[in-house]
Amino acid sequence: MATDDLVIILTAGSLATACGLLGPFLVLRRQSLTSDAIGHAVLPGVVGMYLLTGSRSSLLATLGAAAFGLICVLGFDALRRTRLLGTDAAIALTFPALFSLGVLGISKFASGAHIDLDSTIYGEITFAPFRTMAIGGLDVPRPLLTTVLTAVLTLAFVLVLWRPLHALTFDPEFADVTGMRGRLVQRLALVASALVAVTAFDSVGAILVVTFFVVPAAAAHLVSNRLDTMLLVSVGIGWISAIVGQRAAVAYDSSIAGMIGLTAVCCFLLIRLFAPRRGVAWRLVRGRPARARGQPKNTSASA
């Protein structure tokens, strides 16, 4: 395996770690699609920063992206509070408009520039090994550096706030009663997800954001009821997708981001079919009625 391949796998893997640590909270609180919305909504931030400064520095692009991620979240929250439309409609109204702004910006002003649609939508993880920066005489690929840093920070975030996050996910009332500052922690978790989505957008492109956040976490939810197991399983699935997907893309000369996404979905479907107790195949063999078990716990977790 060449060094470039290794860099791509490590970049995707560390991103999968960050997303896998936060994804289960989104899935359990039924906020999965906010990751999709943020992943799309950051585009005008990236484009705008480029148009303003004329350079595509990672830091500025990330700042612009973070600003629009925030606008997106605040926007759909404000829409939702008018009570004229549901949460999902509010999301569906916000992010396409922001994404459109980004596409218009690209097509009108920045055509032929470094940011083109292909690399922002399809993910430019293919180019990750070539975007290097010098640190202490060594050429380090910048996407790898940012994603590893993001993974470490996310891990620290989850470890430090483990108790309130855990309580908030399974028993929001208990979290309130014991004075865990429920709303603050919940907002922090959303902000953390938004920041991870922004880094992901910059280093691998928009489509893998929703894949890494939702698919491994949804699969992990089929395997376990325990939050810590869920986090481990979803990070594991993320790494498997990164490794198998990259190898498959090289073997079939195909899109790396696309192959990683397909691998993650295959993992999900395999678990859906063959997971012990909850898998479809298992239930067929045991002849248990489809919704006999596991359902009450599911509803309490989503309260």
Nearer to another protein (CB atom), residue 54 or residue 289 = 289
Task: Give the residue, chosen from 4, 5, 33, 58, that forms a contact with another protein under the rule CB under 8 A.
Answer: 33
181 Cβ partners below 8 Å, 6+ apart?
164
Q: Which of 27, 49, 190, 200 binds another protein (CB under 8 A)?
A: 27
46 binds another protein (CB under 8 A): no
Query: How many amino acids of this chain bind another protein (CB under 8 A)?
Result: 61
Structure tokens at 156: 């620290």
Is residue 55 a contact point for another protein (CB under 8 A)? no
Contact with another protein (CB under 8 A) among 67, 110, 265, 282: 265
Binding mask 144-163 for another protein (x = CB under 8 A): --------------------
Indicate which single residue of 210, 240, 242, 243 sits in contact with another protein (rule: CB under 8 A). Answer: 210
Q: Of the listed pieces 14-22, 136-144, 168-176, 248-256, which binds another protein according to CB under 8 A?
A: 248-256
- When asked if residue 237 is in the footprint of another protein (CB under 8 A), the reply is no
The contact set with another protein (CB under 8 A) reads 27, 30-33, 35-36, 40, 79, 82, 84-86, 88-89, 91-93, 96-97, 99-101, 103-104, 107-108, 117, 121-122, 207, 210-211, 213-215, 217-218, 221-222, 253-255, 257-262, 264-265, 268, 272, 278, 280, 290-291, 294-295, 298, 302
